[in-house]
Each structure stands twice: as structure tokens, then as C-alpha cells.
Amino acid sequence: MHKALQLEPEKCTGCLQCEMACSYENESVFNPSKSRIKVFTFHDEGRFAPYTCSQCSEAWCLHACPVEAIVINQKTGAKEVIEDICVGCKVCTIACPFGTVNYNSDSGKVIKCDLCGGEPACAEACPTGAITYVDADHTGLARMKAHASQSIPK
């Protein structure tokens, strides 16, 4: 079975070590703006939410790519950008409805989470367990339940 990143915002303290680890792993720099995972902040409510590609089965990015530059890694299930083939047309960046494919103006190509080939650096770096790499079946269910219960008028 494939594993997936489980993101638990309630455990996130906003330390941004995941962004540092991601940019260092993938771009060899400590620069959060180059990170494929992003912590969104809600300062007025004291909340933080790490967010990145969920490797969705619809794979909007992959189907929108005009040059077959996004492929599925059979080992991890990740949708990966092949940088040599990507022309930088950015169609995937508007096609991904989750906003998790981004254009990198330095390289002229797009970047997205590739699960670091099966050893995601963000999960390793997270000191509070807000980002874990677990069996894919387990991710998101508690969150969906919680959101559903929030959505029911009391």
C-alpha cells in the first residue's frame, strides 16, 4: 500500500522547520519560498496549517500537462514533475484545484511535492508530529469527520 503525508494542523506550532527541510532537500537552500510544503498562518486565531499536495487520484496536474512531464512514481504513488521535460507553460499550476503546483521563476519550471522519493524530509523535520508519513488509508478521515460535524448547524 502507498503511504501518504498526514497533516494535522492542530499539532502545528508554525515553526516552519518543514519548509526549511523541504527547500534544503529539494533546492539545497534554506529558503521557505522554495518549499513545496507551506504553513499557512491564522495569527488572529493562533492557528497554523501545513499544506501540500495530497497526491490526489484525480491527478489534475498530470492530465492537464501538454508534454507528459508529470508522471506517477510507481513506488510511492507520487505525481512527479520531470524537470527535463517540463517546458514551464504553467497550465498545471492553474489546473490543480488545491493550489499545490507552483512555478519556480529561477528554473523556469514547476515544482510540487514528490514525497522525496518515499522519505519526506518535512515529516522527518517536524518536531510535533503535525506531519507524519503513514498508510494512505488513515489520512484525512478524522479531519473530514470533524469538518462535517462543524458544518452541522447546532
Partner 1 sequence: MNHLIIGAGPAGVVAAEALRKLRPSDPITLLGDEPESPYSRMALPYFLIKQIKEEGTHLRKQPDHFSKQNIKVVRDSVASIDRAAKQAKLKSGGSASYDKLLLATGSHPIAPPIPGMDLPGIFNCWTLADSRSIASRAKPGAKVLLMGAGFIGCIILEALAQSGADLTVVEMADRMVPRMMNDTAGNLIKAWCEKQGVTVHTSTRVTAIRKGTAHALAAELSTGKVVDADMIVSATGVRSNIDFLNGSGIQTDQGILVNRQMQTNDPDIFAAGDVAQGRDFSTGEYSVQAIQPTAAEHGQLAARNMAGLQGAIHRGSVNMNVLDTLGLISSSFGLWMGKPGGDSAELLNRDRFKYMNLQFEDDILVGATSLGMTQHIGVVRGLIQTKTRLGKWKQKLIEDPTRLMEAYLMSTQAVGFNAGILK
72 three-state secondary structure = strand
Nearest to 38 by CA among 18, 13, 24: 18
Which amino acid type is present at position 142?
A: A
C-alpha 60/C-alpha 66 separation (Å) is: 12
Q: Does 91 bind partner 1 (CB under 8 A)?
A: yes
Work out how close the CB of 74 gets to partner 1 at its nearest, in angstroms, rounded to a whole number: 16
Residue placing its CB nearer to partner 1 in the complex, 67 or 72: 67
Residue placing its CB nearer to partner 1 in the complex, 32 or 118: 32
Among residues 2, 95, 118, 136, which is the contact residue for partner 1, using CB under 8 A?
Answer: 95
Which residues in 43-82 contact partner 1 (CB under 8 A)?
A: 45-49, 51, 60, 63-64, 66-68
Nearest to 21 by CA among 94, 110, 137, 130: 130
Q: 46-49 contacts: CB < 8 A, separation 24 or more?
A: 47/9, 48/9, 48/12, 48/13, 48/14, 49/7, 49/9, 49/12
Q: Does 127 bind partner 1 (CB under 8 A)?
A: no
Interface stretch with partner 1, choices 14-22, 93-101, 114-122, 126-134 (CB under 8 A): 93-101
Residues at the site binding partner 1, with contacts judged by CB under 8 A:
8-11, 38, 40-42, 45-49, 51, 60, 63-64, 66-68, 85, 87-103, 105, 108, 142-143, 146-147, 149-150
